Amino acid sequence: MKELLIIAIGSALVNNVVLSQFLGICPFLGVSKKVDTAAGMGGAVVFVITIASFVTGLIYKFILTPLGFEYLQTIVFILIIAALVQFVEMFLKKAMPPLYNALGVYLPLITTNCAVLGVALTNVQKEYNLLQGVINGIGTSVGFLIAIVIMAGIREKIEYNDISESFQGTPIVLVTASLMAIAFCGFSGLI
C-alpha cells in the first residue's frame, strides 16, 4: 500500500510529467488559455491514460511477453493507444453523452500526446505490475491535470498585464512554465 502511494505521489508531483519530464508539452502550451478548457483537457487525459496504462499492461503481460515479442512494444503500444482513443470516443458518444460533451473535443488530440505512450513505456521499463502500472498512470495524468490547470489560471491573469512585444504569446508562457518547474523542484525532497 505504502509503495503504491509512493508511486502515485512520485509521478504526480516529484517527477511531474510536464514540468520535469517534458511529455505532453503541445497540449500544455496549446490548450491552457482558459481554466475550463484546461480542466476538460486534463480530465480527458486522466481518463485515457488510466485506461491505456491498464490495456497496454495487459497486452504486454499476456500477449507480448509469452510470445517473446517484447521488442515490438513501441509499434504495438502506439497502435493500441490510437485505436483506444477512438474507441473510447465512440463509446462515450453512445453510452455517456454528458461526459462526451464535456471531454469529446479533447479526445482526438490525445493520440498525439506523447504522455500516453510515455506512461506505457515507463511502466514496462520500471517493471511495474498491472496495479502499479495503473497507479502510475493515474498519478502521471493527475500531475498533468494539476500543471495545466495552474498554468491556465496564471495565463488568465497574464492577459491583463503589459508584456513587452517580443515576449507576447508563447515566450511568456514558457517563462511561466519555467517558474512553475522551479516550484515543482521543491517537491523533490518529498520521497
Partner 1 sequence: MNRCTERVYNGLVKENPTFVLMLGMCPTLAVTTSAINGVGMGLSTTVVLVLSNMLISMLRKIIPDSVRMPAFIVVVASFVTIVQFLLEGFVPSLYASLGLYIPLIVVNCIILGRAESYASKNPVIPSIFDGIGMGLGFTFGLTCIGIVRELIGTGAIFGQQILPLADAAAGKGGYVPVTIFILPPGAFLVLSGLVALQNKIKNNAAKKGKKVAESAGCGEGGCASCGNGACGGKVFPTGNEE
- The whole-angstrom separation of Cα 164 and Cα 140 is 35
Any contact of residue 161 with partner 1 (CB under 8 A)? no
Any contact of residue 22 with partner 1 (CB under 8 A)? yes
- Nearest CB to partner 1, comparing residues 2 and 94: 94
- The whole-angstrom separation of Cα 110 and Cα 117 is 10
Selected from 117, 134, 138, 145, the binder of partner 1 by CB under 8 A is 117
Selected from 66, 94, 160, 166, the binder of partner 1 by CB under 8 A is 166
* All cell numbers assigned to 16: 511531474
Those residues whose C-beta lies under 8 Å from the C-beta of residue 108, and which sit 6 or more positions away, are 85, 86, 89
- The whole-angstrom separation of Cα 184 and Cα 22 is 13
* All cell numbers assigned to 18: 510536464
Any contact of residue 129 with partner 1 (CB under 8 A)? no
User: Shortest gap between Cβ of 119 and partner 1 (angstroms)?
Assistant: 10
Which amino acid does the sequence have at 13?
L
Contact residues: partner 1, CB under 8 A: 19-27, 29-31, 71-75, 78-79, 82-83, 85-86, 89-90, 108-109, 111-114, 117-118, 121-122, 125, 165-175, 177-179, 181-182, 185
